[in-house]
Amino acid sequence: MKLKIMSRIAAMIIIMGFAVTLSAQTATDAVEALKTGVAKSQAKDYVGAIESFKKCISIYDEIGESENENRATAATQIPNMQYKYALGLYKEKKYSESIAAFEKLAEYSETYSDPENLKKAKGVIPQLYYFKGKDLAEKNNYTEAIENYKTAIELKSNYFEPYFRLAEIYSEQENDELFAENVKKAKEATSKADNQEAADALAGKYYNNMAVKSLTAKDYGASLTYFNNLMEYKEADSDIYHQLAVIYNNQSKWDQAIEAANKALELFKDEGSTKDAKIYYELGNSYYGKNDTAAACDAFSKAAKGDYEASAKYQMEQVVKCQ
C-alpha cells in the first residue's frame, strides 16, 4: 500500500517538475515564436507568420505577461499580415478567397484594436463583391453576378458601379421595371459628370431600342411609352419627334402627329438633303387624316424627293388627288 502511494507521489512530482520546466521555457518560446513570425513575414508566408504571432501572444498570456512589449508587437503584426495576404489574393483575381481574407482582416482588426486596417477592410469588401460580380457577368453568369452586385450595394450605399452594372444586365433581359429602377439609382448614387453621362447613354440606348422594336411590331402604345422614357435621359431630336409623328398617325391622333412632325422639322439639321422627306410624308398623312386636303398636298409635295418620291406622288395622285 505504501509502495503504491509513493509511486503516485513520485509520478506527481515528475509531472510538476515537467510543468515547471515547461513554464521556465515559455518566455524563451514566446520570443522564438515572434522571431519565427518575422522570418515568415519576410519570406512572404503571411499565413504562417500569423500563426507564429498568435503562438507568441498565447504564450505570453499563459505566463501572465499580457503587457509584454513583444506580445504587443506580435498583436500589431497580425492584421498587417492578414492585409498583405488578402491583397495578394485580390491581385490574383481570386475574388471569393480575397473577400473571405478581408473579412478575416476585419475580425483581426477588431480583436487586436487596429482601426486603420478595419477601415481598409470595410472599404475594400464592397468593391470586391462588385469585382466578383463583374467577373461573373463577363462569363454570362448573370444570376450570381446580380447577387454579388446586390451584396456590394448592401455594404456600401450610393455605390454607382453595381447599380450601373445591374441596369446593364436588366437591359439585356429587357426587364423594364428593374432596368428603370437601377439606372435611376445609379444616377442618384453619383455626382460625377462622366457617370451621369454613362447612365444617360445606357438609358437612351435601351429606351430607343425598345421603342423602335415596339414600333416595328406595331405596338404603338408601348413604343410611345418608351419614347417618353427616352426623353427623360436624352434631349429630344428631330428623329424622335418624327417617330412620335408616326405613332400618333397610326393612333389617328392627328393634331398630336402634326405637332410632333412640325417639331421634327424645327429640329432638322441636314439642310439641303432629302432626309426631311420622311417628316413631310408623315405630316401629309396627318393633314389627310384631318381632311385638310390643301395642307396634305403641300406636305406631300415637299416629301416627293429621295426615297419618298414615289410614295409621296402616289399619295398625291391616287389617294388625296391633289390638283
Same-domain pairing of 46 and 125: yes
Banded model confidence at residue 1, pLDDT cuts 50, 70, 90: very low
Residue 17 domain-assigned? no
Kindly tell me if the per-residue pLDDT of 276 is higher than 90: yes
> Any alpha helices (H) in 63-114, and if so which ranges?
69-91, 95-111
192, 213, 235 - which closes a domain: 235
201, 235, 269 - which closes a domain: 235
Provide CB contacts within 8 A for 201, sequence distance 6+.
Answer: none
Domain that holds residue 314: 240-323
What confidence tens digit (pLDDT) does each residue in 46-87 have? 999 999 999 999 999 999 999 999 999 999 999 999 999 999
Q: Please, what is the average pLDDT of the chain?
A: 91
Same-domain pairing of 29 and 148: yes
Across residues 94-119, what is the average pLDDT?
Answer: 97
pLDDT at position 273: 86
Q: Is the CA virtual torsion 204, 210, 216, 220 positive or negative?
A: negative
Q: Rg for the chain (alpha carbons), in Å?
A: 37
Among 286, 278, 271, 272, smallest CA distance to 239 is for 278
Between CA 270 and CA 308 the distance in angstroms is 16
Cell numbers representing residue 90 in the block: 485580390
Residue 34 domain-assigned? yes
Q: Count CB-CB contacts under 10 A for residue 171.
A: 21
Domain count, the chain: 3
Phi, psi (5° rounding) for residue 271?
A: -60, 140
Cell numbers representing residue 108 in the block: 483581426
pLDDT at position 184: 97
Q: With beta carbons less than 8 A apart as the criterion, state whether 76 and 108 touch.
A: no
Same-domain pairing of 187 and 224: yes
pLDDT at position 279: 96
Between CA 177 and CA 77 the distance in angstroms is 49
Across residues 3-12, what is the average pLDDT?
Answer: 38
Same-domain pairing of 315 and 245: yes
Banded model confidence at residue 270, pLDDT cuts 50, 70, 90: confident
The Cα diameter of the chain in Å comes to 140
181, 214, 235 - which closes a domain: 235
Same-domain pairing of 123 and 198: no
